[in-house]
Structure 1
């Protein structure tokens, strides 16, 4: 395999991957040493000094700028949320929709994206679904667009089979039709390059516990700041352009911030943001393009091995259509998950099989170990010797 970066050095930063065959980054990534150290430093400051909150907020703004760089956005376009679901709900409820309007989505996409918009049906909003397919692009949505269509919301990468959809063409369609475009990048961020401007997104939402290497409880929201008509469904002092310094609410001064802060309601997950800062530094050091290329090579190795075992791959094979890091083997999850666990192989059950999801720390030995474990059971009915 081509060496895009020092994978073995990276593995040493993730101690858990030396104790098991970890192929479950699509669920969550194990904690790295830099993230652990950032969390420990935060706890130490809190414990020893009762918390230098003003310093923590300054660091938060520095982290916001790093998120913006990751997405080719401005810091003023980034808000911190709790998770992807909260980000999607913020986006859905910020759209100026009225009864009779409709939103287009993909049937079978992540349910928490769908529910954010399905919840608007009580306001008379219609949600229309296109069929899931290996290829989803502008043409997929075009026939459902009418005068009442106001938005398209979709994932970039699917969690259940690793589809990577053509969000750039969909974004171009939205621009041509003056539609809002909302993208869930939870399964892409940190592994697949994402340019908010190129894809012409209105909102982009994600959590941070997969490709961004941070424990659960922190999310991100990108907002195209030219869309000043989009306002939050709720309000707090921090959401305002002029938060009252004396903490007295003033009904005559409630203009929302002209930055993505309008969508924040505070307080912030400051420990998570400290962890994210360290994770972003690690990702930047390695390079998203390198992480993507490395995962593609591991994925090609995995696909070849599955073919040798006559195991079908669920989802697309073509690099242009698939994510580099998410693969589903057509093995009945209820028959295989306990076996994988007994062999210290961490994977996830999915709709049509077993999901194998890669991270920056995985190597060829991880893939080969998985294939060995499968081969042993299929060919002999016995587990292999411990690696």
Structure 2
């Protein structure tokens, strides 16, 4: 259990958060000084010695073990990927679907989750989109749609577009009881909420590392439950094999796959980002992901109370158990985004309004500053608003 953390010292790690009102971690985390330093050390090694590759590969395995422990997995259950979408596509193609099978997912979830499975139409696999019930997704949402040909449920832990936080652990129990595979997109939750993939009961968990894990874009990971035996990768390289040919001559009679998730890796790693991830885990573990969760929820409490005073509707959930760090304001994106950008506020437009997303470096003062900026525009005369 981590004690309180020094928020001001932590905030000093993120210069971008001091130069602007940065409320956009759900899009991309700003680069922390310690993570930037880890990247520089990697590039300095490459510059000075043309790359100590064996040392770098040893570090890859050390980071794999750390990341595995961070999410409650074993190292052999982790494959490194380029991003969430690659991980979801690997999962979709590894599940042994046959023509006539179906997979369920929430209508309006991230499109790249959907496309990974929609692409299986060519194999006769049906993707069924289930509407949210009462603003959330739970067992009751999916149960009426499960039939004898349902093989999997795919869902985001936290949705990107309104910040819904789904009870994936309950859904995991439901899937286990019915022999279904649960695929979880953890892009918006990893590094923000505590994650234990075994308690989730997930077959696959995919995520990128450039949001809650604070790493520049270009790296992700895929958890594959070790209990799943015989999964076959959609594409193959020497790195996928249990015994890669030492002489680099392919042998059709020696194609046994690596044990575990490593069979889904096909070659060179994003070494700079792996060094960055090591430094990011240092930072996150120093703070404690439980502290991060409590911190962003407290910021959300403060924001929701202020929105109520301003008469601005929150698009997503209000209940603490159903939200995390993402809050979408029911404000027309076009005019408000320009105004907020001009006010040096970094946010994202979303399908239902303006998305505010907190990071571990945000403060109560950030929320208060945002509220002042919102209130100022609300108070503007209509002719001033029309003028832009």
Does the pair score TM above 0.5? Answer: yes
Deviations 1:91-148 (A, max 9, x none): 0000000100111111100000000000001110011111034221122111111111
Structure 2 counterparts to residues 203-222 of structure 1, below 5 A:
203-222=204-223
Judge conservation of contact 1:347–1:356 (CA < 8 Å) in 2.
Answer: yes
Match in the other structure for 2:176: 175
Match of 1:52?
52
Q: What's the counterpart of residue 11 of structure 2?
A: 11
2:230, 2:97 → 1: CA distance? 12
Q: Is the 8 Å Cα contact of residues 4 and 294 (structure 1) preserved in structure 2?
A: no
User: What is the CA distance between 1:244 and its match in structure 2?
Assistant: 1.1
Q: What is the root-mean-square deviation of aligned Cα atoms in Å? A: 1.1
* Counterpart contact for 1:135–1:165, Cα < 8 Å: yes
> Given the alignment of the two structures, is residue 108 of structure 1 paired with residue 108 of structure 2, yes or no?
yes
TM-score of the pair, normalised by structure 2: 0.96
What is the alpha-carbon distance in structure 1 between the residues aligned to residue 245 and residue 19 of structure 2?
A: 52
- Any gaps of 5 or more consecutive residues in structure 2? none
Structure 1 runs not aligned, ≥5 long? none
Q: CA offsets per residue over residues 286-321 of structure 1, 9 Å max, x none? A: 000000001111110000111110000011100111
CA distance in 2, matches of 1:202, 1:161: 25
Deviates most, 60-69 or 132-141 = 132-141
CA deviation after TM superposition for structure 1 residue 231, in Å: 1.6
Give the Å deviation of 1:214: 0.5
Q: Tell me if structure 2 keeps the 8 A contact 1:205–1:220.
A: yes
Q: Does 1:70 align with 2:70?
A: yes
Contact 1:108-1:132 at 8 Å conserved across structures: no
Query: Per the alignment, in what secondary structure is the counterpart of residue 161 of structure 2?
Result: coil
For residue 68 of structure 1, report the CA deviation from its aligned partner. Answer: 0.4
Partner of 2:140: 139
Partner of 2:359: 359
1:83 maps to 83
* TM-score, length of structure 1 as denominator length: 0.97
Cα distance in 2, alignment partners of residues 27 and 359 from structure 1: 11
CA distance, structure 1, for counterparts of residue 34 and residue 280 of structure 2: 7
**Cα shift readout 1:335-364 (whole Å, capped 9, x = no counterpart):** 111111111111100011100000000001
**Number of residues of Structure 1 aligned to a counterpart in Structure 2:** 380
Larger mean Cα displacement after TM superposition, 26-35 or 134-143: 134-143
User: Partner residue of 2:370?
Assistant: 370
> What's the offset of the Cα at 1:180?
1.1
Deviates more, 1:145-154 or 1:373-382: 373-382
1: distance between equivalents of 2:281 and 2:352?
Answer: 33
